[in-house]
């Protein structure tokens, strides 16, 4: 049995909310967060370049974070649910 989403009821009774959710597709959000996050400090540019070679990834002045191994980033802004009828 799936849990109902926690929504403010905006003054509606639970019965009305239940009717609105009837027939909606089941959706389970996969946890895409990282297992562990660490901060790495470098003394100099030379240390950054050595680290790049070690992990076989490029680090620029704009690099704020990286995944190791490199993550496949999903793009979902152009996805939507459509009614089959």
pLDDT digits (tens, 9 = 90+) for 54-81: 999 999 999 999 998 888 877 778 877 7
- Alpha carbons within 13 angstroms on the beta-carbon side of residue 82 total 4
From residue 60, give the alpha-carbon distance in Å to each of 31, 44, 67. 28, 13, 14
The predicted model scores a pTM of 0.52
Per-residue model confidence (pLDDT) at position 51: 96
Per-residue model confidence (pLDDT) at position 42: 95
pLDDT digits (tens, 9 = 90+) for 6-34: 666 676 666 676 777 788 777 788 888 89
Per-residue model confidence (pLDDT) at position 78: 82
């Amino acid at each position: 049995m799936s849990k109902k989403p926690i929504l403010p009821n905006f003054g509606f009774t639970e019965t009305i909310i239940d009717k609105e959710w009837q027939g909606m597709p089941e959706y389970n959000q996969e946890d895409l967060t990282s297992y562990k996050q660490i901060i790495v400090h470098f003394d100099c540019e030379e240390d950054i370049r050595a680290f790049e070679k070690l992990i076989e990834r490029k680090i620029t002045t704009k690099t704020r974070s990286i995944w190791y191994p490199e993550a496949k980033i999903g793009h979902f802004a152009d996805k939507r649910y459509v009614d089959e009828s």
